[in-house]
Amino acid sequence: MNRVSPGRFAGKVVVVTGAAQGIGHAVASRVAAEGADTILVDRAELVHEAAAALAAGSSAAGTGTAGGTAVGVTADLESYDGASGAIMEALQLRGRIDVLINNVGGTIWAKPFEHYEPDEISREIQRSLFPTLWACRAVLPHMISRRGGVIVNVASVATRGVNRVPYAAAKGGVKAITAALALEAAPHGIRVVATAPGGTEAPPRKVARGPQPDTDREKAWYQQIVDQTIGSSLLKRYGTLDEQAAPIAFLASDEASYITGSVLAVAGGDLG
């Protein structure tokens, strides 16, 4: 882990969704290293292993947790019952939530819009919009009652990208949630912000989001996404997990106390 700020989240309870793998796990690892009592939420049972390894290994790796802890919670956030259950479990575990980082989502299929089946479109929206919508709704009464809190949503610059129209629609909704909810939440002392990641290098997923490209045509469609992503980036490359986790952690921290309603593109210059 690079350039952590020890103690930045000391005394804070931070819930990170989609935390078993990828950007979510990188964020959870970072905020725990910076002192957060971190609750990793994911529908994959892998989240418990990830949380245990984080709790046991961060000090040994030389980062230090500055008093932070890590625990895993399994929940399917695509339903309100799943999201509210996860928030309730987090409250039972730690008594409060200072920061919610909504990271669940990801493209399931990669193909031109005319090739999507109606049920595939619905599944893309269900995967990449509703977990953020439901989790925000579930945590909001608690944060209002405490007169404070931070919600960081993870959108995407793929709102302007090829072969992912349903995913783009879902992530456009995440941007809209951020802007609209920030207006409502500000009088209660709650900040609502977001990042919009671009293409990000990550290890192979232990739990796949969906089917991998199989035919030559499917592989060509996916390559179009890669080519467009790199072409739209001024830096002409994919980002790293650390490069995505760092701005999310910043926006979640008190250092960003005068930022709300904003969506920060983290895509090498591609604004989406």
Percent of the chain with pLDDT over 70: 95
| Distance in angstroms (rounded) separating the CA atoms of residues 61 and 54 | 10
The residues pairing with 199 across neighbouring beta strands, listed in sequence order, are: none
**Predicted confidence (pLDDT) per residue in 66-117, tens digit:** 447 999 999 999 999 999 999 999 999 999 999 999 999 999 999 999 999 9
* 194, part of any domain: yes
How many other CB atoms are found less than 10 A from the CB of residue 42? Answer: 29
* 143, part of any domain: yes
Any idea which residue has 């469609």 for tokens? Answer: 221
* 272, part of any domain: no
* 216, part of any domain: yes
Length of the chain: 272
* Beta-sheet strand order (sheet of 149-154): 69-74, 37-42, 13-17, 99-102, 149-154, 190-197, 263-266
* 271, part of any domain: no
Helix or strand run (H / E) with residue 127: helix 118-128
**Predicted confidence (pLDDT) per residue in 222-247, tens digit:** 999 999 999 999 999 999 999 999 99
CATH number, residue 123:
3.40.50.720
For the chain, what is the largest distance between any 2 Cα atoms, rounded to a whole number of angstroms? 54
Tell me if residue 116 is catalytic: no
Q: Report residue 155 as tokens.
A: 């959108």
Specify whether the CB–CB gap between 191 and 185 falls below 8 A: yes
* 82, part of any domain: yes
Choice between 56 and 58, residue whose per-residue pLDDT is larger: 56
* 206, part of any domain: yes
Q: Which of 80, 116, 167, 258 is catalytic?
A: 167
**Mean pLDDT calculated for residue range 134-148:** 98
Least confident of 33-37, 61-65, 149-153, 236-240: 61-65
* 7, part of any domain: no
Supply the range of the domain harboring residue 228: 13-266
